[in-house]
Structure 1
């Protein structure tokens, strides 16, 4: 897996992702504690609202950012957005009112909505071999899991000597370091084959996404993953501080369980995906995570869980969560031409975060009004619905090359190449606006 680090451009991009997420992880812990400090037992509702604002920014800004990104130098765009995030992070330690949290979170996450899809779409342009890209996805998953494992552990250590608001300074440092690493390499910026209007560029990625069967299945799995992760990220602080009566550092330990399970999955997946297709691996991961959350609901109904039990359950949820979403980059890359890739990654970013937009506030409301057992049970039911929809929407077997015709094209059109029957892997584009049915 580590051989791909010989590629200097990818190595710098991965390092940029690592340091940015290290800072983001500190902010995740600090934001939960800030919410508890400002709102006490209503922290779940405050944090849920803050995360909802984050999702609103992601859903509304990402498609627009993708539309304009194709006309911008990708490296300059990424560096600028990193610096915006760093400035916002520097403001967070001075927050004294809940509304200030909401405003700063919107600005911060608007910058992230432009940064993340463009960054993700750059990786397959740098690593064009699918096996190398699969390994890169796992390494990226490991980088994301710093937010759930290494960062909470670091936060727990720092909280022994500093107040929680000091953690936001580490967030700003992480974004600044990310900008320096991105500016140190040259990045590819694929250009469109033909000029398009703003509306076409804004909606193109979502149109390609929703017309591709495997991506419709991915959207359903994203719903499942969002339901389960919402329970973990929104409600862990209240379970640990309120229900269990433990200290701030215990919150970091419980979240580290989720991150540890996710990291373990990331190590296993490259070898597993060489032997099995994406669909069964992703469905199995979603099934494991859903079954674990159902178990947590049952155990919570019987008696209060210990920190060790909660951490172990969160680790299993994290393993299933990572197994569900890590291969998604492979599906997105196969489903778009290089010039449409950023738009399709932005579509996944937008649509998956639309799921969180619904489920984050719902999770906080369920926890606040009905407690942990009801919240876990309700979110398990929602996750199961997404799992069943994914199994239906994503065909179990689909030939790689699909025979189809183009009655609207002349027989000498270059796309037809004079070959009959006309068959090739289908990617939604101007010549293939719909996904044909396999014969």
Structure 2
């Protein structure tokens, strides 16, 4: 993290929000480990199917709740909303250690993830309001991604240490503490209420981000990369517990170690990227991430079909780290892509759309990783996921143009544009004006322009 990012922590409100995010992330990381072990305790070798179903429920709520929550979020005080959602999540995770039926896991996960689906886009939309300078906001996005990758690395390591002295049920208590700490920090933060969108209907506000995604080529490419991350990442999220316990003969703590290796790969990529991104831009780095992710998944397939060997354990750690590095190369620049593809008033809707659409990809991948691996074997399930990742990578390569400049020359028709917007344009025909500026989809630009020479 460079010096400019550290300077952000001199901003009191940002510092409190960042620490709140970190607290909630570490709590959620402990739940990731504990939930897999709880599923294994209740279902044994069927834990992959149980965990796949629980994570599928999570994705359904993310896909359906996030856009609707974004449509309503500007109508209520955002600080009150964030605190309420944090406390609701704390109460739910405190109930998880007491479940003794699989259906109870499903019910509590639905409530927990509905709160998270409303919380995350609202939280992301707060940052540009408390950090209006574009450079500060961009660095804040980078810091947020680094925090997420650090959590992926450190929370499994923390879980591994805790599991050596306590039962995994107590990890849920750590999650609740993280959510309560997050709520306390948000209370002490000055969060302005949202600037209301000119779109008055809830349906219009809900769909605004989706329209921008559909009309912006680089965002269609991002959607393909979301599919790569989900297809490869579902192997880690769903199959790690059973693969380590049953195929490798590992312990509960060793499950956390393998997950930590994945987090280490992600963090290493995030730490290396800030200076590189300034020189190369997002597209080359993110397409490289798709290649690295695919390489990791192909290696996992080879490992799953190999016979018993003392080398399987160190190879598994390496493969999981490579998969994490690929995800980091894709996820770290994603916030920059969203920022450069929208005006400030449209960013909450666009972040909600990215949140929803990326989790739609996970909704497709999780059942494959869970149920197919349970009913057949790891090799078959992972081959199907590799095909899904290949489709995503091909979509990204086709949809995201190269080069991809911010400023585009384009033409307006006088009968469909605000006259003030074309005050600096030059006429090129009856009622037609041409100019060049940073181009995003908005009320004045409904379609992506065909490049003119």
TM-score, normalization by structure 1: 0.96
> Which has the larger displacement, 411-420 or 158-167?
411-420
> Following TM superposition, by how much is the alpha carbon of 1:133 offset from its aligned partner in structure 2, in angstroms?
3.7
Structure 1 residue aligned with 2:376 = 370
Query: 1:185, 1:223 → 2: CA distance?
Result: 35
Q: Per-residue deviation at 1:48? A: 0.1
Residues 64-107 of structure 1: CA deviation (Å, up to 9, x unaligned): 10000111222221111111111111111111110000000000
Q: Is residue 432 from structure 1 mapped to residue 445 from structure 2 by the alignment?
A: yes
In the TM superposition, what is the alpha-carbon distance from 1:418 to its structure 2 partner? 4.1
Is 1:390 the counterpart of 2:396? The answer is yes
- CA 1:160–1:80 in 2, change beyond 3 Å: closer, same or farther? same
Query: 8 Å contact 1:123–1:133 — kept in the other structure?
Result: yes
Q: In structure 1, how many angstroms separate the alpha carbons of the residues matched to 2:197 and 2:109?
A: 36
- After superposition, the Cα gap between the structure-2 partners of 1:435 and 1:411, relative to the gap in structure 1 and judged at 3 Å, is closer
The corresponding residue for 2:81 is 77
- SS state at 2:413 partner: coil
For 1:155 and 1:199, how far apart are their aligned partners in 2?
A: 42
CA contact (8 A) 1:412 1:418 kept: no
The one-character-per-residue Cα deviations of 1:308-349 (angstroms, maximum 9, x if unpaired) are 221111111101101111111111112222121111000000
Deviation per CA, 1:244-289: give whole Å up to 9, x if none.
1211001000000010111111111111111111000110011111
How big is the shift at 1:193? 5.0
How many angstroms apart in 1 are the aligned matches of 2:71 and 2:305? 48
What is the alpha-carbon distance in structure 1 between the residues aligned to residue 425 and residue 197 of structure 2?
Answer: 24
Matched residues in 2 for 1:210 and 1:158: separation? 45
Aligned-pair CA distance for 1:433: 1.4
Is the contact between residue 149 and residue 328 of structure 2 (CA under 8 Å) also seen in structure 1? Answer: no
Instruction: Please list the CA deviations of residues 185-220 of structure 1 after superposition, one character each: whole Å capped at 9, or x if unmatched.
Output: 112444135251111111111111111111110010
- 1:342 pairs, out of 334, 338, 348, with 348
Q: Is 1:47–2:37 an aligned residue pair?
A: no
In the alignment, is residue 237 of structure 1 matched against residue 241 of structure 2? Answer: yes
- Contact 2:97/2:169, CA 8 A, preserved across alignment: yes
**CA distance in 1 between partners of 2:423 and 2:298 (Å):** 54
1:219 aligns with 2:232: no
Within 2, Cα distance between the matches of 1:243 and 1:366?
A: 16
Structure 2 portions without partners, runs of 5+: 427-433
Residue 429 of structure 2 aligns with which residue? none
In structure 2, how many angstroms separate the alpha carbons of the residues matched to 1:204 and 1:251? Answer: 41
Quote the RMSD (CA, aligned, Å).
Answer: 1.7
Match of 1:37 in 2: 41
Q: Give TM-score, length-normalised by structure 2.
A: 0.93
Alignment of 1:34-433 (within 5 A): 34-304=38-308, 306-409=312-415, 413-420=419-426, 421-433=434-446
Structure 2 distance, partners of 1:190, 1:427, is: 21
CA distance in 1 between partners of 2:283 and 2:379 (Å): 31
Cα distance between partner residues in 1 of 2:425 and 2:74: 34
The farther-off stretch of 256-265 and 402-411 is 402-411
Tell me the distance in 1 between the aligned counterparts of 2:59 and 2:301.
26
- CA distance change for structure 1 residues 252 and 151 in 2, over 3 Å: closer, same or farther? same
Shift of 1:51: 0.0
The answer for unaligned runs of 5 or more in structure 1 is none
**Separation of aligned partners in 2, 1:193 and 1:148:** 35
